[in-house]
């Protein structure tokens, strides 16, 4: 599939396998039609012009596109770029939101959670960010000592993995129920014994029960 004028950095299949997205140093994202690719014999496939499979070109980024990722429902495409942004676009090319606009460093990676409600991004600024589908920043995760190069959700969406130039992979626990249990574990004694805590706040962790392991 030829059409990009510079290096291609990232590719992603749509959930139904009929479309491929590619991101390039030419600052574009391209969508390619893969329908019936597997049905073609080698002799037939050689007669298909690669350009004829090009469905659409997105030109919203101002610098190289490092990674592309389809949402689980296949209706939204995320793209990360050296223009310090993540862009969310409909597959028809309509821009939905721009994340990290005005960020201080290049964005290297983007990934949708399995339910499509969360978006994770990694950047040269050593940070991992969690976003809502609408583009609202929910959480910034810090822990890497060098650029974050890749992010990926676990199949159940409860863990996020990030890979960095600090030679480390970090697993982030996104199980909110578990985080609440741990939090109450840490502050339980403080809430019960500190005289400066208001009486109504002493019961904040009532009903939070640790899961059995």
**pLDDT tens digits, residue range 43-85?**
555 555 555 589 999 988 999 999 999 999 999 999 999 999 9
Identify which has the larger pLDDT, 212 or 130.
130
pLDDT bin (cut points 50, 70, 90) of residue 135 is confident
**What would the CATH number be for the domain defined by 8-174?**
2.130.10.10
Q: What is the pTM of this model?
A: 0.74
Domain boundaries, the chain: 8-174, 176-213
Q: What pLDDT does 39 receive?
A: 55
The tens digit of pLDDT for each residue in 174-186 reads 876 665 566 666 6
- pLDDT, position 206: 65
pLDDT more than 70, % of the chain: 74
Contacts of 27 (CB under 8 A, 6+ apart): 59, 61, 62, 63, 64, 65, 81, 83
pLDDT at residue number 137? 83
| Whole-number Å distance between alpha carbons of 126 and 147 | 4
Please, what is the average pLDDT of the chain?
Answer: 83
Q: In terms of C-beta distances under 8 Å and separation of at least 24 residues, what long-range contacts does 168-172 make, across chains too?
A: 168/144, 170/128, 170/143, 170/144, 172/128, 172/141
Mean pLDDT (whole number) for 86-114:
86
């Amino acid at each position: 599939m030829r059409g990009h004028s510079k290096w291609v950095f990232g590719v992603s299949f749509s959930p139904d396998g009929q479309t491929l997205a590619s991101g390039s140093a030419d600052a574009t994202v391209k969508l390619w039609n893969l329908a019936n690719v597997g049905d073609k014999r080698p002799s037939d496939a050689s007669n298909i012009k690669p350009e004829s499979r090009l469905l659409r070109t997105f030109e919203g980024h101002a610098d190289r596109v490092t990674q592309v990722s389809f949402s689980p429902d296949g209706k939204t495409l995320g793209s990360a770029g050296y223009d310090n942004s993540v862009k969310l676009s409909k597959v028809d090319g309509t821009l939905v939101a721009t994340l990290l606009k005005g960020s201080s460093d290049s964005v290297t990676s983007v990934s949708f959670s399995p339910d499509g409600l969360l978006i994770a991004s990694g950047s040269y600024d050593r940070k991992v960010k969690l976003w809502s589908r609408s583009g609202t920043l929910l959480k910034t995760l810090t822990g890497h000592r060098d650029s974050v190069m890749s992010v990926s959700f676990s199949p159940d969406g409860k863990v996020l993995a990030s890979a960095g130039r600090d030679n480390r992979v970090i697993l982030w626990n996104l199980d909110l129920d578990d985080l609440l249990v741990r939090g109450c574990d840490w502050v339980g004694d403080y809430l019960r014994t500190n005289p400066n805590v208001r009486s109504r706040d002493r019961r904040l962790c009532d009903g939070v029960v640790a899961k059995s392991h």
